[in-house]
């Protein structure tokens, strides 16, 4: 993307905004940066589970009321690889939060993906069935965070457009 294209980006509604005119140190964009940073750091914690001893995984599994841990290779593989995917996702969100101007068009993608993931996880948790604390504590907060990301992104663009007009 050349400088001219980066300067005049289009939002999903077709509004043109100038990324250089968005104030990333104030208003909705500042809150958005903080939210991406907090979510990114939170997701990076999943890196611990990649290296967690299986016996400790089993103990935590039991303490959460999830029954007997299935000591099968696929279970261990899925636990570790899913944790790594969460960590990679967290790293990307943190990375984007450090250079919002450059990656501005990517920010609503994170928001929409969180909405879709949150709703999907909610239905997966309901049909698995997972304990109520898990159902309420996973999918719903992910979807809400996605909605907040999209909302703050739109408000940041609206502030920028009102400054340009």
Question: pLDDT tens digits, residue range 106-134?
Answer: 999 999 999 999 999 999 999 998 999 99
Half-sphere exposure of 88 (CA within 13 A, CB side): 7
Phi first, then psi: give them for residue 36, nearest 5 degrees.
-60, -40
- Encode pLDDT of 37-49 as tens digits: 999 999 999 999 9
Half-sphere exposure of 14 (CA within 13 A, CB side): 0
pLDDT (0 to 100) of residue 151: 97
User: Is residue 91 a contact partner of residue 120, using CB atoms and an 8 Å limit?
Assistant: no
Per-residue pLDDT at 63 exceeds 90: yes
In a domain, 18, yes or no: no
Q: Look up the domain containing 42 and give its range.
A: 24-164
In a domain, 2, yes or no: no
Q: How confident is the model at residue 9 (pLDDT cuts 50, 70, 90)?
A: low
In a domain, 12, yes or no: no
Q: Hey, how many other C-beta atoms are within 10 angstroms of the C-beta on 109?
A: 14
In a domain, 52, yes or no: yes
Per residue, the 3-state secondary structure of 95-140, as one string, reads: HHHHCHHHHHHHHHHHHHHHHHHHHHHHHHHHHCCCCHHHHHHCHH
In a domain, 116, yes or no: yes
Number of domains in the chain: 1
CA dihedral sign of residues 68, 71, 74, 76: positive
Per-residue pLDDT at 5 exceeds 90: no
pLDDT (0 to 100) of residue 23: 80
Q: How confident is the model at residue 25 (pLDDT cuts 50, 70, 90)?
A: confident
- Encode pLDDT of 75-88 as tens digits: 999 999 999 999 99
In a domain, 30, yes or no: yes
Per-residue pLDDT at 136 exceeds 60: yes
What mean pLDDT, rounded, does the chain reach?
88
In a domain, 31, yes or no: yes
Bridge partners for 9 per DSSP = 17
């Amino acid at each position: 993307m050349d400088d001219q294209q980066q300067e005049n980006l289009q939002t999903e509604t077709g509004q043109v905004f100038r990324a250089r005119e968005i104030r990333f140190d104030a208003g909705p964009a500042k809150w958005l940066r903080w939210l991406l940073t907090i979510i990114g750091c939170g997701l990076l914690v999943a890196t611990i589970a990649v290296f967690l001893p299986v016996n400790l995984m089993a103990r935590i599994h039991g303490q959460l009321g999830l029954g007997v841990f299935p000591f099968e290779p696929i279970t261990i593989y899925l636990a570790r690889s899913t944790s790594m995917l969460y960590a990679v996702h967290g790293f990307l969100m943190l990375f984007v939060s450090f250079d919002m101007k450059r990656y501005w068009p990517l920010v609503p993608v994170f928001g929409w993906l969180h909405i879709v993931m949150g709703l999907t996880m909610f239905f997966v948790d309901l049909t698995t069935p997972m304990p109520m604390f898990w159902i309420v504590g996973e999918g719903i907060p992910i979807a809400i965070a996605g909605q907040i990301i999209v909302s703050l992104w739109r408000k940041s663009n609206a502030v920028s457009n009102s400054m340009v007009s």
